[in-house]
Structures are given as C-alpha cells and as structure tokens.
Structure 1
Amino acid sequence: MADTTTFNYYLTIFLVATIIAILLILWIKQRKNIEALQKQLSIVENKLHEQQLSEMDYKLNPHLFKNVLNTIQSHAYQTYHSLNSLSSVLDYILYESKKKYVTPHQEIDFALSLIEIYRIKLSPLFDLKIKKQMRENEPLFDQRLMAPLLCIDLIENAFKHADLQSPNSFISVTFVFKENIFSLTVANKISSKTPLKKERQGVGTDLLTRRLDVIYRDNYKLDKFVEGDVYIAHLKIDLLEHKAKMLAAR
C-alpha cells in the first residue's frame, strides 16, 4: 500500500512537471511568435508612414513652389532684393526637403528666408516682427530630428489672412529653441475682408497635422486660437523625447 501511495505521489509530481514544461515551451513559442508579429507590424507601420509622408511631400512641394513663385512674380520690381532668399528656399526645397529629417538650425534658417520672400508683399511701414530665442549650443540644435518644411503652413497662413492694409496691423513670428524643445509662434491681425472662396482649397493645414501625427505622435502640441482680432498659432515639439523614442524603436 505504501509503495502504491509513493508511486502515485511521484507520478503526480512527474505529470505536473510535464504539464508545466509543456506550458512553458508553448509560452516561449507563443512569445517568439508575438515578437515576430510585432517586428512585422513595425516594418509595415514604417512602410506605411514612409508612404504617407511621400504622398504628403508630393502635395506639399508643388504647393510651396507655386506660392513662392507667385509672390516673386507679383512683385517683380523687388525681385532683385529677394534673390538670395529665393536661392536658399529653392535649395532647401530641392535637396533638404527630400530627407526624412533636417536639423532645427536648417529649418529655422529656411523659415527666415521664406519670410524674407513674403516680406516683399508688405509696405515698408508694415509691422513685421521676427523674434529668435535660441540656444545654439544645445546638442540637438544641429541634429537631424526636425521634419523639413514644418514651418510653412503657419507662416503662409499669417501672410495670407493678415490685415495688410490697416495702420495697426501686424504679423509676429517667434522661433524658440531651448531645453531641446522647438517652438514656433505666429500671430497676425485678422483681415476684416471676407476671404475669396477657392474651388480647390489648400492642403497646408490638414497636411501639417497629418505629418505631425505620423512623425511625432505624442511629442508635439499644435494650438490655434483667436484672441479678439488676432489669430495665434503655436507649435511645440519635444525633440529630446522624440529622439529617445527613435532610439528605443531601433
């Protein structure tokens, strides 16, 4: 009787150990399958993001070319003074904008050149304020973490919808780069004129949001609001957090 009890005891232990071993093997295989699927999903997501960004770039660059050239053409008498800025902008569009990332330094320089081109639309007395608050010695200032052409939409909208005729009208553009955070704030007095409706609306606003969602996800904030007769847009990107997630995804 004792032998039978001992046998049953060890048999039970053996069966339990076997079941645990089988479950452990199945768990390991399942984990490997999940990891493989996650890698495949990551590859598919990256390809989808690249495709989305490629489609966005296709829409963005012709749109920007058209606006820049229209500005130059409509103010041909001042073209000579804007050639340097135009050259910088075109170089950036043709070469740097094809890259996935540029440095914050490059993007800000591009935006400043773009503003100089749009400046020729304005009266010499128009109040155009450009402010820069940048810590250029911060490491991320010259690292490729900025998606190119992010500044276009906010700057273009200010020149497009500002009240350019009123004596107290203004456009204010402020660039800030400190503590590895890029910020752009654009404000303008709203024109009282009813904007002309176009058959084909611009793609800038929706495109900017889509690009930011795809590239920066939770690491950016875009606010647009009206205070009185002033329209304000504020973009903030945490490049340090974005870089940390880029490194973790490798």
Structure 2
Amino acid sequence: MIEMDMLDKPIKLPFFNRSMSVKSVLIHGLYWILITGFFIYEKKYLIYKASMPYFVACVSVRVLLLVLIGYLNLQYFLPQYLLKKKYLAYFTAVTFSVFGYLIIQSLFDFYLYGYVVGPIRNSRLMESLSYNFFSTLWYLGLMLALKLSLDWYEQQLVIQKITLEKLNTEVDFLRAQINPHFLFNLLNNLYALTLKKSDQAPYVVLKLSEMMEYMLYDSADEKGALEKEVAYLNNYMDLERLRFSHAAAIKLNVNTPIDGYQIAPLLLIPLVENAFKHGLSQQSENAWLTVNIALSGSTLFFTVENSKSPLPHHKIKGGIGLGNLRKRLELLYPNNHQLLLEDKGDNFSAKLIIEL
C-alpha cells in the first residue's frame, strides 16, 4: 500500500521550473492513458487500411502534440500570463500554440488520409483544420478542468491542514491555561491542610503526585483513556474531601463500565472544580456534591450537582476553567456535545453529554 506521504512528495517536471506531487502525476498519467486508449480505439482501422507503423505514427503524433500544447498552457502560459492578469498575452500565446498544433496535425492528416490511406476520407485541408481545431479545444478544456480540479482539491487539503493545526494550537493553549489554574487550586488545598498540621499530608502529596503524572504525561495527547480521566477526577475529589472533612457529602458514582473509551484529557474537571469553587466553598454547613458518570453506547453522560448558598455572593476572581471548557468542546466535539447548566436557587446542576 502506497503511503500518503509518498503521494504528496513533489516531482520536478522536465523542461519546466515547476513541480507536481506524485498524486498529481498519477492522475495526469491516467488521463493520458485514457486519451491514448480513445485514439487507439478510434484509429484502429489504420492497421488494416495502411499499416501498423502508420497507425502508431498517427496515434503518437496526436497524443504528443496534445501533451505539448496542454502542458505549455498549464505550466507556462497559465502561471506566466493568466494568473498575473496579462490576459492579452495569455490569449495570444494560447492562440499561437493552437494554430501551431493545427498546422502540424492537419498537414500530417492531409498526407496520411490523402496519399497513404487514399479515398477513405476526404483529404481537403480545410476539413482537417476544422476537425482538429474543435477537437483541440475539447482536449484543452478537459486538461484545464483537470488542472483546476486538482488545484482546488490540493487547496482544500492545505486549508484543512491549516485549520487542524490552528485547532490543535488553540487546544494546546487552552490546556496550558487549565494546568496552572488547577494546580493553583490544589496548592491552596494543600496549604490549608498543612496549617492544620494534618497527618494526612503525605497522602495528599501522593495523590497530588498521581495527578501531576497524568497532567504531564497523559494530558498532552489529543485523547486518552476515559478510566484515567475518571481516576484523575477521583483523586481531585479525594483531596477536596480532606479539605472539607465531614462538613460536606462528596460522592462520585460510576454507573456503567468505562473501560475502552477515549476522551480529550482534562475535559471533566472544570465542572467539578466549578462546583467546589462557587458552591461548596460558599457554604458553612449541609454542603453536598454528587458526580454521576454513565455511558449509553458511545455517549457519555456526565452530571455534576452541588448545593449552593441561595444568598448572593461577591464575584470570585477566575472563571478560566468553565470558559475553556466551552471552547474545547466546540473545537474537539463540534455538534457532538451538549452542556446544560441549571441554577435552582439552593443547588446547581451541570450536565455534559458527549458522543465519544
């Protein structure tokens, strides 16, 4: 099987200071094979009416002249004149090349059919000129259509590549924003525990180490294992349980098997982080948070529900996580996700549905 990189490799064209990809060369080659096959079928009677050498000469002259005039137009006249808006020069060059082709081809036909084949066809030069003129325009039109089609296709590939690189760059930028933002919150949690001189500090450091390993080595990939993402989420919630102690009921429920599924890394944490930051952190008692994860086929249902104070609070600095989540969903799962947020006064619900 030919690798796609090999098909895109450029090849230097003889007689022209230009290159074509292997893919384009193969397409052009197939085009000329079809044209040659048509002439072989059309002129096969010459084998019997004249001889094999005249048959070969007839087909070869037609194909070689069309190749010459076709690539003069595509590789020289088009870029040198038409693309530079030198329309008169382009029209003049094409006209002279067509007339040059007509003279050579019509003289050859006049000799072949008038003196070699005999009365099988009318040997009048004007009829030969007329036939060759319209057939030349037809084949030049096909060549130009082929050229424009290939250029459009390659342009679309370039646009697609640039778009993909732009999306990947933006996703990497958003991920780079998430990591320090999230680490900032974790260090605040660890700082609170050290102030209390908690014996669970080593446990916290171990959890933090596991999380940092995921952030450093797994989150750089475009997609990773869903079970690792959930394990990362569970570690984060374990750290928050230590901070809130018995003041909050914090639960993570995985309701279906999640092995074998892939998801963009660090996509779930912003909703949970948002629930702690704007919900539980603003309450002194009866706080709760429940996270539910379920799969139906390849559709992920991720729900975060948390208690919140019904009283208005001053706006907290930040808000990076949720804004980045929206952007990443638009980039990574366009038209394949839903993010539903609902403020119910004394509790808040966030539901994320993704077609993995």
Shorter-chain TM-score bucket reads 0.7 to 0.9
Q: 2:326 aligns with which of 209, 212, 219?
A: 209
Q: Map 1:125-204 to 2 at 5 A.
A: 126-136=248-258, 140-141=260-261, 145-163=262-280, 164-167=283-286, 169-198=287-316, 200-204=317-321
Q: Using the TM superposition, give the Cα deviation of residue 232 of structure 1 relative to its aligned residue in structure 2, in angstroms.
A: 0.8
- Which 5+ residue runs of structure 2 have no aligned equivalent? 1-120
Instruction: Please give the residue correspondences for 1:66-145 in structure 2 after superposition, counting only pairs within 5 Å.
Output: 66-76=184-194, 77=198, 78-124=200-246, 126-136=248-258, 140-141=260-261, 145=262
Amino acid of the structure 2 residue aligned with 1:90: M
Letter in 1 for 2:265: P
Q: Which deviations, in whole Å up to 9, do the C-alpha atoms of 1:97-133 show, x marking residues without a partner? A: 2222211111111111111111122242522222112
**Secondary structure, aligned partner of 2:208:** helix
Whether the 8 Å contact between 2:308 and 2:345 is mirrored in structure 1 is: no
C-alpha contact 2:226 2:258 (8 A) present in aligned 1: no
In the aligned structure 2, how far is the partner of 1:30 from the partner of 1:54? 36
Counterpart CA distance in 2 for 1:157 and 1:230 is 13
Cα distance in 2 between the residues matched to 1:40 and 1:179:
35
Q: Deviations over 1:170-204 (max 9, x none)?
A: 21101123412222110112223433435x53311
The farther-off stretch of 189-198 and 90-99 is 189-198
Give the letter aligned to residue 224 of structure 1: L
Q: 1:57 to 1:216 in 2, by over 3 A?
A: same
Residue type at the aligned position of 1:110: Y
Letter matched to residue 284 of structure 2? Q
SS at the partner of 2:325?
helix
With CA pairs under 8 Å and 6+ residues apart, which has the higher RCO, 1 or 2? 1
When Rg is computed on C-alpha atoms for both structures, the one with the higher figure is 2
1:33 pairs, out of 138, 151, 164, with: 151
Measured on the aligned residues, the alpha-carbon RMSD in Å equals 2.7
Name the aligned partner's letter for residue 112 of structure 1.
Answer: N
Number of the residue aligned with 1:59: 177
Contact 2:247/2:284 (CA < 8 Å) preserved in 1?
Answer: no
| Counterpart in the other structure of 1:47 | 165
- Post-superposition offset of 1:227: 3.0
Q: What does residue range 222-237 of structure 1 map to in structure 2 within 5 Å? A: 222-237=339-354
Amino acid at match of 1:175: I
Is the 2:247–2:285 Cα contact (8 Å) retained in structure 1?
no
Q: Which amino acid aligns with 1:197?
A: K
Fraction of identical pairs, as percent: 24
Q: Which moved more, 1:27-36 or 1:69-78?
A: 69-78
8 Å contact kept, 1:128–1:170:
yes
Deviation at 1:86?
1.9
